[in-house]
Amino acid sequence: MPRASNLHELSTDLDDTGLTPETAVALYIALLFKNTTNHSIMAPPAILSNGALATATATFTTDTLKVPSFQKAASAPSTSRMGNVVPFTVVEGPEAWTAADYANQDDYIYQFSPSDLAELEAAVAAALQQGRDLKDLTKEDFPLPTLGPKLVAFREEVRTGRGFQLFRGLPVWKYSREQTMAAYWAIGTYWGKTQSNNKKGHLIGHIKDIGFDPSQPTTRLYATHAAQPWHNDSSDQVALLCLSNAKEGGLSGWSSSISVHNEIVRRRPDLARVLAGPWFMDRKGEVPEGKKGYFELPVFNYHQGYLSVNYSDNYYLLSQRFEEVPRLTPAHYEAMALFNELAASRELRLEMILQPGDIQLLNNHTCLHYRSAFVDYPEMNKKRHLLRLWVAPPVERPLPECYAELYGSTKVGDRGGIRVKGYDLKIPFEAE
């Protein structure tokens, strides 16, 4: 074992051992905090989403700094590293972008060509003539010899490159609802397996205000007009197709969660360790069989040479309604404040009003996104309306086992989504 006095020295001594970086860092952290003592601290007041003011007193121990993926690596033989990320260091690569890198929207927007659309429309027409349930149709039912390879290539750019892509010009204004749903489903089959968006089993989710109260702890904010803070969705990739805009607001923004990580490592390495420790998330009433109404998942997940980021401050705050969940500490609040500040900064944030026919595709491991509050038109047929796909590509990064709490599984090609007992997978044509 290297006799390192700090993390930098430890990383330079790894070649002298048989340890992977994950195992070595786990042992280093364990030694670093071995002799610290417990102390009680008062967490600051926090406004929960239901408007209740909660002041939490918690006993903070070094146990809160344990990293599940490190624990697993330290207690079992490690598999071969598949990435090159060293924990708690700056991550380099195309996924660590800034707003200046994409000041020109043409760099990430693909305009569907007339030949693309003709090919897609022909495939959709033939598939619908079969009279089968849309959810039972697969990629083989939508032959796209020219467009299909492009869709796969863009999925791979999202998976291994910058982590986002925008498609423009799907003419939803001239399609029937059935044609729109079928065309979107056809595109999605080239990206991977689509997973359930909610406990109702919706394979295509409707992002639309249907009158739910955003202050209730079990309300999913996508079904309201309220702002959705910075977050990742519960899938490897997420796609959003815009059908119609709001009267006012409804701005869509996204940032590189890898760049957020890098800035935190540079500015506050102590908070990077907090973000790699235990964080508890509320399930908002969508509870899988045998599970509790909350679960534990770090924000920064270092696993087999990859950094996967999962973040949603709304869900962390809501978890505090469960008495058995550890109280958020001042360090947690400070980490959330810095994370939100960086994600929303002009240096890192991209944003736009999605136009009808736009499709946004994001990598949930390397990008996070938000939506501003909006005001709808009074007419029902003019309300802001987007369609969402949660996609599990057939090839993906490995994830630590703790992700099974969020994704239902860590199996590549069949993970992500909401999985509850008795749910019936379906594709509703309207929000419900």
pLDDT tens, position by position, 166-195: 999 999 999 999 999 999 999 999 999 999
Asked whether residue 184 is domain-assigned, the answer is: yes
Q: Distance of alpha carbon 37 from its chain centroid, rounded?
A: 35
Number of domains, the chain: 1
Is the dihedral angle over the CA atoms 375, 381, 382, 387 positive or is it negative?
A: positive
Q: What is the pLDDT of residues 62-99, one digit of tens each?
A: 333 333 333 333 222 233 457 999 999 999 999 999 99
Structure tokens at 46: 């926090």
> What is the pLDDT, as a whole number, of residue 251?
98
> In 3-state terms, the chain is what percent helix, strand and coil (to 5)?
35, 20, 45
Residue 47 domain flag: no
pLDDT at 44 over 50: no
Q: Residue 10: inside a domain, yes or no? A: no
Which pLDDT score, from 0 to 100, does residue 343 have?
99
Distances in whole angstroms, Cα of residue 191 to Cα of each of 81, 152, 188, 263, 386: 25, 6, 5, 31, 18
Residue 67 lies in a domain: no
Residue 394 included in any domain: yes
Q: Are strands 109-111 and 280-282 parallel, antiparallel or unpaired?
A: unpaired
pLDDT digits (tens, 9 = 90+) for 258-279: 999 999 999 999 999 999 999 9
Tokens of 309: 């980021």
Residue 361 lies in a domain: yes
Between CA 199 and CA 196 the distance in angstroms is 8
Separation of first and last alpha carbons in the chain: 58
Residue with tokens 């240096």: 347
Please state which of the ranges 67-81, 238-252, 282-296 shows the lowest mean pLDDT.
67-81
Residue 243 forms part of a structural domain = yes
What's the average model confidence in pLDDT over 45-53? 29
As a whole number of angstroms, the distance between CA 285 and CA 289 comes to: 12
Token pair belonging to 414: 């069949």
Which CATH number covers residue 86? Answer: 3.60.130.10
pLDDT-based confidence at residue 43 (cuts at 50, 70, 90): very low
Mean pLDDT score of the chain = 85
Domain carrying residue 285: 80-432
21 within some domain: no
Which residue is it, tokens 């007419």?
379
